[in-house]
Every structure is written in structure tokens, then in C-alpha cells.
Structure 1
Amino acid sequence: MKIHSLLINLANQGVKLSVDEGSLFIDAPKGVLTPELRESLAKYKTDLLSLLRQNSNINYQETALPTIVPAPEQRYQPFPLTDMQQAFWVGRSGVIELGNVANHGYYEIESDGLNIERLNWALQKLIARHDMLRAVVLPDGQQQVLEAVPGYQIAVLDLRKQTQDVVAAQIELIRERMSHQVLPTDQWPLFEIRATYLDGEKVRLHISYDLQIFDAWSLLILFEEWEQIYQNPEVELPLLELSFRDYVLAEKALQNTDLYKRAQNYWFARLDSFPPSPDLPLAKHPSEIKQQRCQRYSGRLEKADWQQLKHRATQAGLTPSGVLIAAFAEILTIWSKSPQFTINLALFNRLPLHPQVNNILGDLSSVTLLAVDNSASESFSDRSFRIQQQLWQDLEHRSVSGVAVMRELARRQRTAPSAMPVVFTSTLGFSSRFSSLGQDTSTFSHFGELVYGISQASQVWMDIQVWEEKGALTFTWDVLKELFPEGMIDDMFGAYCTLIAQLAVSEKPWVATTQQLVSRQNIADLKYYVFNQVLADCPTWVPGEVYCSGIDFHQTHANFIIHPRTGERLYPTGDIGRYLPDGNLELLGRVSHQIRLGKYNIQPEEIELTLQQHPAISSAVVTAIEQAQNKKYLVAYLVSAQKSAPTTEELSQFLQQKLPDYMLPSAFVFLDALPLLANGTVDRNTLPHPELCLDVDVPYVAPQTELEQTIAAIWQEVLQLESVGIHHKFFEIGGNSLLIIQVFQKLQQVLIYENKKSVSLVDLFKYSTVHSLAKYLINHQETPNLIHDRQQEQEMQSGKHRIKQRLKKSQMLNNN
């Protein structure tokens, strides 16, 4: 057993190690220290002592966490959102792609003989006990705990003595309304609980909750305490001294520590080389989806097989979560255009800032970005261990959340905030953590059996969740199925289930590369294959390079390759293609036309076909040109089908609804006709080279009106800029989703509208220049009255003066 496998084995069995005056101390549960384990500890004693000494030599002042000082007198004062809450709040606003939905969970639990009146009474006790069950999010982007709320009543529907058809229809109506709720965040409550009476003394509970107010850990606490109070109305739960507000303010102070700064340096230094999200085949562009509805896929590995899989994982040096993440990454590698991608991993990151930190409700979750590179041909065991090593290194820097990292990435790329749309959530290990608190978390269903569940999240395509229930592994995929080609998610999920099962019972998949060569289509004596970068077969819908076998190479001068695993002679056709579900091969373009733009491989034919869907375009060719500093930009050459050609703005808006941002051309050039070669194909070499000014900043145009001057002054103050032109875009001059909230708050203070709020957060995202925002406010709302309060004017002028002085000082230092 290697030392890393030993450490994982010890951790999984609850063994703790420490060092004192050169001696190794072992704290283990009864019966865990077998003779074999003692032998391994003795073998690696020197190495273990060295690791423990390294950890003990860390400077405490550099890693010291902020101390929470509970402030009960401030309990009902507004306080900031966490990074995750802020991302959720912006995400649901509808200003970003796949927004307009809440980060939300819905469960149905069926129980026998449940007393709803007593259950409701127990719930009211919990609402009084936990602040975040009385929380709302204010329009200015802060949250607040309400001191008093009306008594909550569980709504009841009696379906006893009804036919099965009526019962099914009524439950479906409830499910349709509650399963994807978007509750107003500034109105209490941000949850809904209903009960349905069924025959045979059965009760169906319907539980809808918004992740804006608490996370999955909090849900466990809620169910545990709810059952305790329900079963024993006289129980006295420990008084909570700590509030979620106390925790959030202390966590904000973490940003002033060296620990946070080191983590920030770690992540920001890697940003330029970070791979994008998995490049999966899509049936439609995300912006085309008007109403998000996730579909759940559920799987299970029974207790015996799950125990066997954990044992094999330990032997390979992997944690249970580690092997499941790696298996999922393997599936993504097969279906993604590129084996290099990034996924979001959910973290339940409750810092040990107070003894009661594990007892409060709230969204204390976070995410970390896991970069995966599966381009090398290696065994699943080696690949998985490498992924886990990367994850462990990332987790050492978890004080900076993935939200903050993506915010910085958006700032560098001068784009609006976005998220990695594939999420993996593991709650494995929660049972052991809660058991140490005297709680049993074998299931969420403390009041019966979980019969239905679904989750949703803004900007998320796939949310994979794994947990242990009654000793078995349970896993679900909540997928925005409409986004993907028909049958693709079924194939992916089936492949994941198969891989997990095989990893549990066989050694073979651990040493295999999991790459298979499958013939899809034969034409006469020829066989056609679609391969990825490592010459592995691409699944249905996934594009790759087309190869052909069966050619008589002695009769032709064709170049060929020898497949490294099958030994078959293959001819690279030079085409990019994919197989369709009916077995037909669809050609998408030529390899020689493929454009590498930053981190993306772009097939220009896909953009050309999309452009030709516009009624005013008869033909289109897309290519790339290189500007200064070796930057490439896409240019579309078009022939109009009408006398009056469409505008650049019209074409850009048309493409934005159908293609991702990285596939949008930077320029459109109209020609009378496309230049052709003798064989009738487009002569790309003779296309005119447009004069682009893409590297030059937007020309400065000073604010003209009083309203433009006011907006620009606020931008200058928040972004710490000396000047802002009316055509500068907020996210292209240093803005991000946090700073836009500061702009929102300041505009709220300065602009007054009669009987209505001056501006919404959605407006700021949608109208991202000073000119467009001012024009919108004038045209679509009542003409604003600017506050001419002397004190406020003095504060704004003072802020601008400080900024100018700071900039001048910086310029002097740079000149010296």
C-alpha cells in the first residue's frame, strides 16, 4: 500500500494522526487498527512524521482565520450576499443566458399517518429558531432577516376517496407549479410546503425551497431538527448564539488575510490557460430556450457493490468522491469535442470560525473549478489519480471561490459574468460528519419515503449529484434535456451507470483507456470512422475527423496511418463529421478550414450555415484574420439576397440567438459575389482583407446630458477611472457583477422617479453603456429628477477628486 492510499484509507475509517515531540500518535475507532494496518503505519512512520511536521511548521499568523464576534443587536440589519448567493441572485434576474430561474430544489415525501397539525407546529418552531427561514433579499442586493413573520400554515389538499386518475392529475398540477418555482426574493417566505391526504392514511409532502437562503447541508439540519421537534414536542434544542449574518461578515474579513491572497494568486495565475467548459453537442443555442425544465435521471449502486467500489478506489489511492468525479470526467471526455475542459464542483465550505458553525441554516456553500486534461492515453486508474491530485491542490486554495475566479476571468475577457455550466455535487461523507454530532443522515426522508425530486439552477446544463443512502450509492443527473440532441443524454447516463458498475466488480476498466473502436457505417467495401484527437471512436452526435479503411493503398497514392490499437490502415479524408442516430454520416466541414481561436476549435461551416438561415443572406464564408499581437478574429464574407443588406447590428443579434459568443464574427464584409476557384469552391485566399480597428479602444465621447454625466460620474467612482465615455461598455472597462451592484445602489440614491424605483439591476446588465442606459431611462420611464442634495453632491465630487489624485500619483510613480 502506497502512502497516499494509506492516508485515504485512514481518513475513510476515521483515523486521526498527530505528532508530539517526535512521536506519532494515532486516534482510531475501536476495531479499526487491524494487524495489516498497524504494519503499514510502522512501514511509513518516517514519511508520516515528516508530513505532519511540515503541516505543523505553517506560520499561524499567515493562515489564521477571522474570529466571529456574534452581534445579536445587529441581527436584523441588512448584510451582504455571499459569492454563491450573489451569483444565484444575478442568475435568476434574466439578464444572463439560461437565467430567469431560481436555484431551487423540490421533493415529494410520502409517509404513513403523519400528523400535519403537529408537523406545522414543529415547522413554526424552526422558523422562529433559524434566521434564514425568515430571510429575504432586498432590491439593492443585500439580504435581511425579518424580526417577525406571520405564522406559516402548511396548505392541505384532501384526495382521499378520489380515483387514481384524479389523484395523479392533482399531484401533477402541484408538481408542475412547485417543482420549478421562482419565488420573489424580496418577499417572505422563500419556501413552500404543502401536504396531500391520500387513501390508506398516507400523506404526500411537497417541499419547495430556494437555495438563495440555505444549502444542502442546511436541508439536512432542517430535517433533523424538524423530526426531533415533531417526535418530541418537549425537546429543548441548544440555543443558537451564532447567526448566519455573523458568519458572512467574518468570512468577508477573510479577504484581508495572507491566506486569501495566496489563494487568489494561485487561481489568477492559471486563468489564461484554463480550459473552457465541456464542448458538448447541442441541439439548440441556450438563448433559444425560453422556459427551463430539467429532467432527472436516477441511478443506484447497491450496498455490496458500493462497498466493493470504495475498496477498489482505496487501493487505487482514490476517495469515493474522487472515483465518481473521474468516472464522470471520462464520460464527458467521450462526448466532448475536446478532452480538455473545466467543471464546477460544489463545496460545503463551513469554515471553523465558531463552535456552532455546523448548526446554522444558510447558504455557506461554494464552488471550485476543476480543470481536466484527458488528452493523454493512460489507464483510468492513472487518469483518476491525476485528477484527484489536481483537486486536492485546488482545495488547498478554496478560500477563493470559483465564483470569484469566473468573475476575474470575465473581467479579463471583457465579457458579462458567466458560469461553467456542468456541475458535480457530492455529499458523500455527510453521514459521518453528522454522526459525530449525534445525528443520523441516512436519508432526507425522515417523515417517509422520497418519491420524487428535481433541482434546477441558472446557467447550468447538467447538475450531477451523488450521495449515500442506507449504505447504497445513489446518483442523479438533473439535465436541461431540451438543450441536447435527442437520445444523447440517455446514452451518456447509461454509459456512466455501466462504467460505475464495471469499476465495482472488475479490474479491467481500471487498467483500460476506455477507448473503443466501433465501426458505424460501411459503404461498399469501405468502412468509415469518426475519431477524436486520440483516435478513439466518437459517440453519436459528437464531431470528429473522418477516417476511411478498405482502400487499396497499392493502387493509390493516398497517405495513410496505422491505428495504434487495431493495426488497421486508415486514410484521413480531411473531413469533419459526425454520426447521426440513424447511422448516417453527416459531414460538417473540412479539417483544413478549422480555426483555432483562443481555447476553441471552430468549424467555420457551422457559422456559415447559421448565417444562411437569415432571409437576407444568400451565401456566406467565414475565415479568420490575424491582427497585431498575433490575435485572431473571425470575419464573415456575405452576399446579400436583397438590394439593401442587413446591418452589422442586425446580423450580430441574429447570431447571438443561435451561436456561442466565441463563434460570433468581429466583422461582416458584403461582396457582390464570392470568389471561386476553377472547381467551383470558394477561393479563400483572394477574399479581401478588411481594415479592422479591433485593438483600439472605443473612442472617447464625453457625457452630454445631465443624466449621462451623473451615470458616468458613478461609473468613474466605482471603477476608479478618471474618465468614462458614453459608448464604453461596463464589462469591457473593468466592471463585474459585484461592481454593477455598487453602481445600482448609487444610482438608486441619486435618481428619483415618482412612485417607482429609478432603475432595476436587469436594466444595468441590458443597457451596458452610459448612452444606452440614459436613453432607456428617458424613453421608457418618467424623466428623472436628479437629487441636488448638497451633501451628496459634495460626497460625489470628493470621491472623484480622490480618484484623480490617486491616478496622478500612480502616473508619477510609473514615470519615475
Structure 2
Amino acid sequence: MTDNSTAEVPALLDDLARAGVRLRLAADDRIEVIAPKGALTPALRERLTRHKPELVGWLGSSRERREPARELPVVRADEANLYEPFAPSDLQTSFIMGGREGFEYWVRPHQYMEYDLAEADPGRLEKALNRELEHQRRNLVVVRDDLRLQTVRDPAPARIEVYDVRGEDTEGLRAHIDRVRDEMKRREPVHDRWPWVDMRLSLLPDGSAKLHYNNNNLFSDAPATLRFIDTVLRRYDDPGYAPPELEISYRDCVLALAELEESPLGQASRTYWTDRIAGWPGAPEIPLAQGADPRRRSRLERRELLFPPEVWASVKEKAAARGLTTTNVLCAVHAEVLAYWSGSRHFLLNNMITHRLPLHPQMGEVFGNFASLYPLEVDWRHDEAFEDRALRLQKQVLDDVEHVYWSGVKVLQALNQHRRTPGKAVCPFAVGSALFVGGAERPVDSLLETPQTLIDCEFWDLKDGSLWVIWDVIEDMFPAGLIDAMQEAYRSIVLRLAAGDEAWRERAFAPLPDDQTERVAALNAPAGEPPAGLLHDALAHRAAEAPERP
């Protein structure tokens, strides 16, 4: 446990992350604040001032102080070379390659989302869409034949396909929605030509509408996607909305991040990761279905857990009292479940970390993919309480986050080279927190397909205060019933953590469902009364009975 003042720091960090505010510890214990315009409210500013000593200690505990010569660069606009080809980020390269046959669990990355709208004018919505695309025009890119990216010159307007099903009965309406969902959920968007935006609208009998959107995750990460949809709908509601022009392009940002990798700071990050590779464990050995083929087209299915506001609020309160951020608590719950079903106490996960570094005030507004995957070492080998395991994992995450100036994909490639396993999905179990996005609107239906992934776990704050936990899973790679049991275990652990302090002190959760617990007990129960005497007493008697059977 920590004192009350220190205990408030994780909650403050969570709130700052949701507002898009980043902190950086500079020389002389000075805290630099990088925030989008209007994000740093008077209340947040007051809390920052009040807790400055604790924040300095928190930020300084996870790393050595950075030398002035190793400060982050600034993204500078290069309008003259906007249309010159440039190398994609490493994650984009891995997505491009991971969408090709021959790689494990291959699929082109995309995300289907469906929202209910109270009403919709198709023409007005299409204008709102294209106004936002015009605003983001410098960030619309395609993949060339040489696998380099190029900004689209004079992008053509995007069109919204409209389905008028206002005359359908209930059965016809259901069939239409299922048909659109099934098609778009497995539709892999193009990436070599514009437009790759796929937005559709179903006009329903009661005057409402459904918005269907298939997002090309090669070009957009989760924060960019949600911001894009929210802004399109805002422009629909307020056609006069006019945000400030973007000063930088996606190309500018990617080149600045590539330059950062070659800097002293980037090379220090490289050393941090590569020096640890030899001692790393493998992925958790979750049982796979007999005959499961990892080299066929991935087909992920979505599973969801929803925790009500009072449960989520209790978890946040108890986490803060222990000096834990909510992101790290949920990561620890996920690790607990994987450890139990794999039998592994030391394994790697793929941790999604944003590369929207504070290189420019508008970095968070650029429509692009700044996500990066880094191996997260989970060490559950110590006999300790859950809260101590979570703190251990949090320390590892904080150390890792201080070394994101060298690409996570390069780290994974270096790991595959060390193990001589090219093309292998070295960490097919991914975890990612979207809590920093803030209160999100839960889609009516959704699915994420990502290459080289068996289970992708994400957690989101919802606008009503609920916690939304998503698992995108290749179901048929696992034995029947396994994912059901694992997900129910996740639910039970979160509920126990919300219910009281005892669960936080639990040294070993045993989250097996009741029916499986009973089955294990029955299989291990003796068949009858054990015979008298010792096990070897009958040996001489049997030998005398059948001496010809040695």
C-alpha cells in the first residue's frame, strides 16, 4: 500500500492519458507537459501542481535521467517533398508482409465497426466525410509496388454506398444487416490505391440508420480511427465546424520517427532491447486444437466482456490505492489467465504501445498508424500476491515505455533472427490498452483482424463509465470450450478484484469453471478402496505365478 498522496498519482496519470496529455521529466526535476489544445483543464492543471513531487518520483523511478543532448526531435513540415515516396513504418511493413500467404496467421489488417444513428441524410453525411478527408488530405497514402508509401495527390472524393431498406419487414431487415456485416467483416481493404475508405449507410424503416465502416488498419490506428469517425459525425451535425489546418503530414511524422531511431536515444533503446533477447522466454503455450494449421488465412472472431460502471469504478479505486494504473491491472489479469491455461509462469506477450510521441502539438490529430508492438516479458515465477505481480509487471511496462525510440517490429525481427525462426509469429498473443483514448462509444457490432495474432485483447473506457474488454480470437485454433473457460476466468478475476481486498492478496487464482473442477476431481478420484499392504508386496507372488513373463 502507499500513502494517500502517492496513491492519487496512478489515477491522475490515467486521467491525463485519457485527455491526451503526456508528461516528460526534464533536467532539474522539471516536468514538461505536452497536450492538445484545450486538453489541460484547470482541474488537471491544479492536480499536476499539487502532486508535482510525487510525479517527479514516479517518472524518475523507471529510468535514468535523460541527458539534454538526447531530447526528442521536432517534426518539421516538408511541403516541397510531400509527394515523394517514403518508407512505411516497421509495423506497416510487418502488416503488409503479414497479409501474404506463407506467414503464420496471415490476413490484411482491418476493423469493422457499426453504429446506430438516430437519423441520416446520405448526401449530407457524404459531404461531412469528404470535408474531413480534405482536412486530412496530406495524410492519405497508398502502398506502391516497391512497398514504399506515397501521399495521394488530389485524392478523389469518397462515396458512401447507401442501402434503402425502409420498406423491408423485420425478417428482411435482419437478413440485410447480416449480409452487410458478413461481407464487410471479411473484406480486406485495398492498400495500393485510393480510395480505401469504405463507409456504407443502411436507411431503416423507423427513420433511423446504421453506419457501417470497414477501417483499413494499415493506415490508421485506434485513436485515429475513432477521432475520424467522431469528426465526420461532428461535421454532419455542424457543417460549419472548421478545425485549424494541420501543419504536418503523416510523411513528416514517419520520417521524424525513423530519424529518432538513429539518434543516441534510439540506439540506447536498441541496446535495451537486444541485450535482453537471449534471456527471453517464448510465448505462453496455450493448448491448440489437434491439426490446427497456423499458415492458413486467419479468421478472427470477436468476443466481448462488459463490466458495469460500479464494478469498473471499484477496480480503479483499489488499483490507485496500490499505486497501480488501470492499464497495468488489466494487463496483469490477462497474464494471470494465460499463465493458468498455459502452465507457463514466464512468457512473452505482444504489447501495443503508441508511437504518437510528443514531437509536435498536432501529433495526436494526424490520421495515420502510429501503433507499435513490443515484446512484454511476463515473469510470474515469484510466490507473491497478485498486487505484487501486477506491480512487477507495471515496472516492466514503465521500463519498456521509456525505450520506445527503436521500433518494436525491429525487436521482434531481432528475436526471430536470434532464434532462427523467420516468418514465425513469435508473440501471437497481443494485449493493448485503449483507456488513454477516453470515453468511447461502443459499436453495435465490430471485429478486428490483425495478422500473426491468435488472441488480441483490448480494453476500452466507455462514455457511460463501463469497461469494455474485447478478445479477437482465431476460435478454431483452440480446443472446443477453452476460450469460453479462459474468458469466464477473466470475468471472475475482475469481479473479485472489484469486490474486495482479499483477491488482491491472492497468491494463485484457480479460475477453472465449476464443471471442469468437478471433472478433474472425478478423474483423479480413486476407483475404489486401495488394497492393503505396500505396492511392491505382490511382486514376488506374481513372479512365482508366471515365471515365464519377466
Deviation at 1:499, TM superposition (A): 1.0
1:126 is aligned to: 132
Check the 8 A contact 1:406/1:417 in 2, yes or no. Answer: no
State the alpha-carbon separation in 1 of the partners of residues 280 and 178 from structure 2. 43
State the alpha-carbon separation in 1 of the partners of residues 469 and 54 from structure 2. 40
State the alpha-carbon separation in 1 of the partners of residues 490 and 220 from structure 2. 30
Matches for 1:196-345 after TM superposition, within 5 Å: 196-287=202-293, 290-345=296-351
* Residue 80 in structure 1 maps to residue 79 in structure 2: no
2:502 is aligned to: 508
Matches for 1:617-632 after TM superposition, within 5 Å: none
Number of residue pairs matched? Answer: 519
1:164 is aligned to: 170
State the alpha-carbon separation in 2 of the partners of residues 381 and 179 from structure 1. 38
Deviation at 1:358, TM superposition (A): 1.3
Check the 8 A contact 1:97/1:286 in 2, yes or no. Answer: no
Task: Please state whether the residue corresponding to 1:136 is helix, strand or coil.
Answer: strand
Check the 8 A contact 1:78/1:145 in 2, yes or no. Answer: yes
Shift in CA distance, 259/197, structure 1 to aligned 2, threshold 3 Å: same
User: What code does the residue aligned with 2:519 have?
Assistant: R
Selected match of 1:454 from 447, 450, 455: 447
Selected match of 2:440 from 435, 440, 443: 443
User: What code does the residue aligned with 2:340 have?
Assistant: I
1:465 is aligned to: 458
State the alpha-carbon separation in 2 of the partners of residues 49 and 522 from structure 1. 49
Deviation at 1:275, TM superposition (A): 1.1
2:544 is aligned to: none
Deviation at 1:235, TM superposition (A): 2.5
2:10 is aligned to: 8
Deviation at 1:225, TM superposition (A): 2.2
State the alpha-carbon separation in 2 of the partners of residues 47 and 106 from structure 1. 39
Selected match of 1:556 from 535, 540, 548: 535
Selected match of 1:59 from 64, 67, 75: 67
Check the 8 A contact 1:107/1:208 in 2, yes or no. Answer: yes
1:527 is aligned to: 525
Query: Would you tell me which structure has more strand in proportion to its own residues?
Result: 1
State the alpha-carbon separation in 2 of the partners of residues 515 and 214 from structure 1. 38
Check the 8 A contact 1:289/1:483 in 2, yes or no. Answer: no
Shift in CA distance, 410/201, structure 1 to aligned 2, threshold 3 Å: same
Shift in CA distance, 522/54, structure 1 to aligned 2, threshold 3 Å: closer
State the alpha-carbon separation in 1 of the partners of residues 32 and 298 from structure 2. 54
Deviation at 1:22, TM superposition (A): 9.0
Q: 124-133 or 86-95: which moved more? A: 124-133
Selected match of 2:482 from 451, 463, 488: 488
1:611-637 deviation line (CA, Å, top 9, x unaligned)? xxxxxxxxxxxxxxxxxxxxxxxxxxx
User: What code does the residue aligned with 2:434 have?
Assistant: T
State the alpha-carbon separation in 1 of the partners of residues 528 and 353 from structure 2. 48
Task: Please state whether the residue corresponding to 2:343 is helix, strand or coil.
Answer: coil
Check the 8 A contact 1:327/1:499 in 2, yes or no. Answer: yes
Shift in CA distance, 418/401, structure 1 to aligned 2, threshold 3 Å: farther
Deviation at 1:375, TM superposition (A): 2.7
* Residue 147 in structure 1 maps to residue 153 in structure 2: yes
Task: Please state whether the residue corresponding to 1:418 is helix, strand or coil.
Answer: coil
1:357-391 deviation line (CA, Å, top 9, x unaligned)? 11111111111211112233321111111111111
Deviation at 1:25, TM superposition (A): 12
State the alpha-carbon separation in 2 of the partners of residues 366 and 451 from structure 1. 27
Task: Please state whether the residue corresponding to 1:478 is helix, strand or coil.
Answer: strand
Matches for 1:569-648 after TM superposition, within 5 Å: none
Deviation at 1:2, TM superposition (A): 2.5
**Runs of 5+ consecutive residues of structure 1 not aligned to the other structure:** 432-441, 529-547, 559-677, 681-816
Matches for 1:87-126 after TM superposition, within 5 Å: 87-99=94-106, 101-126=107-132
Shift in CA distance, 390/113, structure 1 to aligned 2, threshold 3 Å: same
Shift in CA distance, 28/176, structure 1 to aligned 2, threshold 3 Å: closer
State the alpha-carbon separation in 2 of the partners of residues 280 and 361 from structure 1. 36
User: What code does the residue aligned with 1:72 have?
Assistant: E
User: What code does the residue aligned with 2:85 have?
Assistant: P
* Residue 389 in structure 1 maps to residue 395 in structure 2: yes
State the alpha-carbon separation in 1 of the partners of residues 318 and 351 from structure 2. 23
Check the 8 A contact 2:289/2:479 in 1, yes or no. Answer: yes
Deviation at 1:519, TM superposition (A): 5.6
TM-score, scaled to structure 1:
0.59
Deviation at 1:125, TM superposition (A): 1.4
Structure whose CA Rg is larger: 1
Query: Would you tell me which structure has more helix in proportion to its own residues?
Result: 2
Check the 8 A contact 2:90/2:407 in 1, yes or no. Answer: yes
Check the 8 A contact 1:190/1:213 in 2, yes or no. Answer: no
1:317-340 deviation line (CA, Å, top 9, x unaligned)? 210011100001000011103222
State the alpha-carbon separation in 1 of the partners of residues 83 and 26 from structure 2. 45
Shift in CA distance, 285/316, structure 1 to aligned 2, threshold 3 Å: farther
Deviation at 1:509, TM superposition (A): 1.4
1:598-619 deviation line (CA, Å, top 9, x unaligned)? xxxxxxxxxxxxxxxxxxxxxx
Shift in CA distance, 679/321, structure 1 to aligned 2, threshold 3 Å: farther
TM-score, scaled to structure 2:
0.86
Check the 8 A contact 1:240/1:356 in 2, yes or no. Answer: yes
State the alpha-carbon separation in 2 of the partners of residues 423 and 46 from structure 1. 32
* Residue 430 in structure 1 maps to residue 437 in structure 2: yes
State the alpha-carbon separation in 2 of the partners of residues 134 and 464 from structure 1. 28
State the alpha-carbon separation in 1 of the partners of residues 62 and 428 from structure 2. 37
Shift in CA distance, 33/148, structure 1 to aligned 2, threshold 3 Å: closer
User: What code does the residue aligned with 1:555 have?
Assistant: L
Deviation at 1:551, TM superposition (A): 5.5
State the alpha-carbon separation in 2 of the partners of residues 21 and 395 from structure 1. 22
1:773-815 deviation line (CA, Å, top 9, x unaligned)? xxxxxxxxxxxxxxxxxxxxxxxxxxxxxxxxxxxxxxxxxxx
Shift in CA distance, 32/549, structure 1 to aligned 2, threshold 3 Å: farther
State the alpha-carbon separation in 2 of the partners of residues 299 and 119 from structure 1. 32
User: What code does the residue aligned with 1:301 have?
Assistant: F
State the alpha-carbon separation in 1 of the partners of residues 140 and 24 from structure 2. 42
Percent identity over the alignment?
A: 28
Shift in CA distance, 64/552, structure 1 to aligned 2, threshold 3 Å: farther
1:453-501 deviation line (CA, Å, top 9, x unaligned)? 0111111111111010121111111111011011110111111111111
User: What code does the residue aligned with 2:2 have?
Assistant: K
Task: Please state whether the residue corresponding to 1:520 is helix, strand or coil.
Answer: helix
* Higher relative contact order structure (alpha carbons within 8 Å, sequence separation ≥ 6): 2
Shift in CA distance, 487/52, structure 1 to aligned 2, threshold 3 Å: closer
Task: Please state whether the residue corresponding to 2:461 is helix, strand or coil.
Answer: strand
TM-align CA RMSD: 3.4
Check the 8 A contact 1:299/1:497 in 2, yes or no. Answer: yes
1:201-226 deviation line (CA, Å, top 9, x unaligned)? 01111100111111111112212321
Q: 340-349 or 133-142: which moved more? A: 133-142
